[in-house]
Chain A
Amino acid sequence: MRPVDVVRVAALARVEGEGGVTVRMDGGRVTDVELRVFEPPRFFEAFLRGRAAAEAPDLTARICGICPVAYQLSACAAVEHATGVEVPDTVRRLRRLLYCGEWIQSHALHVHLLHAPDYLGCEGVSDLSAAHPGLVARGLRLKQTGNRVLETVGGRSVHPVTVRVGGFHALPSLAAVKALRPVLAKALDDALATVRLVSGFDVPDLEHPHEYLALRSGTGYPMETGDVVTSGGSAFPVTDYGQHVVEEQVAHSHALHARLDGQRPFVVGPLARYALNADRLTGAAAGAAREAGLGAVCRNPYRSIVVRAVETVYAVEEAQRIVDDWDGEGPAFVDVPFGEGRGTLTGHGATEAPRGVLYHRYTLADDGTITDAVIVPPTSQNLASIEADLRTVAEADPDLPFEEITRRCEAMVRAYDPCISCATHCVTVLPSGEDSDHEKAGG
């Protein structure tokens, strides 16, 4: 046994954004775990002050190119809540269709290109496409379907242009929406094949103890709306998010960690959504979950790849339902009025991004100028749990070769599909000088 060891992953590969892992061990015991973030802060919450509420969707989309719809729709939800505006059913359904596109695109990317290589002994996209061309082709087809839905409803897949507070700048043509049908039918076959493949992956045994937090709404699997529920039995409206989910600074990592009710680390994302909404899966998605042996709750973070695959089936089916019912009629948006002498307004909005609950809160002046903005992305809420799981993984078998512990730690982080670009605003970069191994990456 080595006396004092440090497992250091210089730069985490196959995650969105740039980060690294440090695990310090002393005599087989982990003394310190750190998910380090190299992403420089971009100050969104600061520069939103003074901007018009109507600009929030386009500006906050730029926090993340992988899940811009999540930012746009959480921003819309918060501004609409502040003004008491209810969007028409047409808008609600079209938003859900847009979100289905993002889930399919994001999950297909993560499952096939970023996460699967860990279970197939590959380094990444190049050797994976040589060794498993069929899997890569299927993943790309699915991802393309997601992008096709995003382009049809949103104009483009990265930073869609049609979303506005109150609805959409323009509705897609009926023909364009109906043209999605054959594409989605093919995608359903692909998505089901993916569930069968990934449910057969040999994943390490691990049960993490964390509390799960997700949205839950009156009908359907949660996406663009819902109240908050947790596996510990808590339930509260989105307006109370800030009272329950508190971000605090912890000494060992210079990072802000979100805690539930001031103490418990918790998890958002596919595992949490599934645990709290499995009964809402229908049709082929429910069947796929059953065949994959997921049970009512899945507590193994490595199996999140299976839940993502099942959620992809759900998103494809849900998109099919919306497309089938779509008649192209209805208003594209409703007016969201400002300047009516109502004084200061506060609005809360939360939606289920592919990586979990994304919460926005805005304080608005009477004329709609943003005076304060709070954005809590999914990944920052998972940081405390990721670090706890890293500790478990590193301590499980401390005599393993260094390279293997490193690999397992990396795979553990990737199982959460962290988006470090998103998390940045609430994770402090290390003091200058300490991130020097980043400069060496690739050089």
Chain B
Amino acid sequence: MSRPTLAVWKFASCDGCQLTLLNCEDELTDLLRALDVAYFPEATRAASPGPFDISLVEGSITTPADAERIVEVRRLSRCLVTIGACATSGGIQALRNTADVDEYRRLVYPRPDLVAVLDRSTPIATHVTVDVELPGCPVDRHQLLEVIDALLHDRRPRLPTYGVCVECRRAEAACVLVSRGLACLGPVTRAGCGALCPRHGRGCYGCFGPQEAANPSALSDRLVAEGTPRRDVVHLFRTVTAGAEPFRREAARQEEARQEEADRS
């Protein structure tokens, strides 16, 4: 029986999610036995023309050329899995979505006319059908292995839809929002990291994006009422998952409120 083929693709990103695959040191040998790594430029020169059984896609779409390339990747892939905050929500580079990209170009490049980029950084699902989405900045190694295992066994991956607060309670970690008054996105962020930040003395900053049925407005109203400056609340929602709709909307709402306050004073 031939092994299923795996391809790993990179769009605008930092490489950290692909590295998470290579960071499965204990499982890597078994993975290489179970899968035929047919296209993974970061790890091998060998390149098959496809098609591929499983495609892992890292990164967001930020250029006209990449918008065409992802369509081709979809065509070549039986099952397409997006890995990481860039691929699932546009990533940190989606911070341009609320800015003037022409100005950004002029700021960073002496020859801005040569930089062919789109005004917005968008997730893969904006462009093609995605079979499984795995959030995280970076993705969690165990969740990544769970997805690959599920696909190899033709079952649905078990991924949490609840929030970071549940992970904190499980870890019996003190709530940093209540006990220390730290701004924490835990109540609205999807589980996956194991409540890393609260367990290390800081508030969650939303690496895994919004959880299902998140209520970011309630959280930010409370943060503002307890004295967090509106600008900081806006920034809290605008980091690595700024493009995820509930976070984008809440940041815009806070930005508007901030503007109104400024206009009044």
Q: Using a CB–CB distance below 8 Å, which chain A residues touch chain B?
A: 11-18, 39-43, 45-47, 49, 51-52, 55, 58-59, 62-66, 68, 109, 113-114, 117, 123-127, 129, 133, 136-137, 140-141, 143-144, 147, 155-159, 161-162, 164, 169-170, 249, 254, 256, 332, 410, 419, 421, 425-426, 428-432, 435-436, 438-439, 441-443
10 more CB-based (< 8 A) A-B contacts, given A123-B45, A144-B25, A439-B69: A13-B45, A41-B62, A46-B99, A47-B95, A62-B240, A123-B44, A124-B45, A158-B16, A332-B201, A421-B13
The CB with the most chain A CB atoms within 10 A, among B7, B76, B108, B111, is that of: B108
Q: How far is the CB of A96 from chain B (nearest CB, A)?
A: 19
Chain A residues near B197: list those with CB within 8 A: 155, 161, 169
The CB with the most chain B CB atoms within 10 A, among A169, A410, A425, A435, is that of: A169
6 A-B pairs in the complex with CB atoms less than 8 angstroms apart: A14-B43, A40-B12, A42-B12, A43-B95, A62-B91, A170-B202
B204 and chain A: residue at smallest CB distance: A161
Docked-complex contact A428 and B115, CB < 8 angstroms: yes
Docked-complex contact A442 and B137, CB < 8 angstroms: no
Docked-complex contact B138 and A428, CB < 8 angstroms: no
Chain A residues near B40: list those with CB within 8 A: 124-125
Chain B residues near A59: list those with CB within 8 A: 92, 239
Docked-complex contact B14 and A421, CB < 8 angstroms: yes
A124–B6 alpha-carbon span in the complex (Å): 14
Contact of B23 among A11, A46, A143, A169 (CB under 8 A): A143
Docked-complex contact A140 and B41, CB < 8 angstroms: no
Chain B residues near A13: list those with CB within 8 A: 41-45, 47
The CB with the most chain B CB atoms within 10 A, among A41, A109, A125, is that of: A41
Docked-complex contact A125 and B43, CB < 8 angstroms: yes
A140 and chain B: residue at smallest CB distance: B25
**B31-59 CB contacts (< 8 Å) to partner A:** 32, 36-37, 39-50
Docked-complex contact B22 and A428, CB < 8 angstroms: no
A48 and chain B: residue at smallest CB distance: B95
Q: How far is the CB of A277 from chain B (nearest CB, A)?
A: 27
Chain A residues near B115: list those with CB within 8 A: 41, 428-429
B118 and chain A: residue at smallest CB distance: A40
Asked if B28 is at the interface of the complex by the 8 Å CB criterion, the answer is yes
Chain A residues near B32: list those with CB within 8 A: 125-126, 129
Chain B residues near A438: list those with CB within 8 A: 65, 69
B46 and chain A: residue at smallest CB distance: A123
A154 and chain B: residue at smallest CB distance: B200
B17 and chain A: residue at smallest CB distance: A65
Asked if B10 is at the interface of the complex by the 8 Å CB criterion, the answer is yes
- Sort A-B residue pairs by CB-CB distance and give the 4 closest, nearest first: A65-B16, A124-B44, A170-B201, A46-B104
Chain A residues near B62: list those with CB within 8 A: 40-42
Q: Count of chain B residues with Cβ under 8 Å from any Cβ of A? A: 78
Docked-complex contact A429 and B76, CB < 8 angstroms: no
A428–B114 alpha-carbon span in the complex (Å): 7
Docked-complex contact A156 and B196, CB < 8 angstroms: yes
Docked-complex contact A40 and B63, CB < 8 angstroms: yes
Asked if B19 is at the interface of the complex by the 8 Å CB criterion, the answer is yes
Q: Using a CB–CB distance below 8 Å, which chain B residues touch chain A?
A: 7, 9-20, 22-23, 25-26, 28-29, 32, 36-37, 39-50, 62-66, 68-69, 72-73, 76, 91-93, 95-96, 99, 101, 103-105, 107-111, 114-117, 137-138, 193, 196-197, 199-202, 205, 207, 232, 235, 239-240
Chain B residues near A47: list those with CB within 8 A: 92, 95-96, 99, 104
A45–B106 alpha-carbon span in the complex (Å): 11
Contact of A143 among B13, B25, B47, B107 (CB under 8 A): B25
Docked-complex contact B49 and A170, CB < 8 angstroms: no
A71–B13 alpha-carbon span in the complex (Å): 15
Given contacts A140-B28, A147-B23, A170-B200, contact A43 B16 (CB under 8 A): no
A156 and chain B: residue at smallest CB distance: B196
A71–B207 alpha-carbon span in the complex (Å): 18
Docked-complex contact B72 and A443, CB < 8 angstroms: yes
Docked-complex contact B45 and A16, CB < 8 angstroms: no
B26 and chain A: residue at smallest CB distance: A144
A66–B18 alpha-carbon span in the complex (Å): 10
Given contacts A124-B46, A438-B69, contact A66 B19 (CB under 8 A): yes
Chain B residues near A17: list those with CB within 8 A: 10, 15
Docked-complex contact A156 and B39, CB < 8 angstroms: no
Chain A residues near B11: list those with CB within 8 A: 40
Contact of B42 among A14, A58, A117, A170 (CB under 8 A): A14
Given contacts A14-B42, A43-B96, contact A425 B108 (CB under 8 A): yes
Docked-complex contact B202 and A14, CB < 8 angstroms: no
A41–B235 alpha-carbon span in the complex (Å): 22
A109 and chain B: residue at smallest CB distance: B22
B205 and chain A: residue at smallest CB distance: A58
Contact of A439 among B72, B99, B116, B199 (CB under 8 A): B72
The CB with the most chain A CB atoms within 10 A, among B11, B13, B19, B69, is that of: B19
Chain A residues near B240: list those with CB within 8 A: 62
A438–B66 alpha-carbon span in the complex (Å): 10
Given contacts A40-B62, A126-B46, A421-B13, contact A12 B114 (CB under 8 A): no
Docked-complex contact A158 and B235, CB < 8 angstroms: no
Q: How far is the CB of B117 from chain A (nearest CB, A)?
A: 6
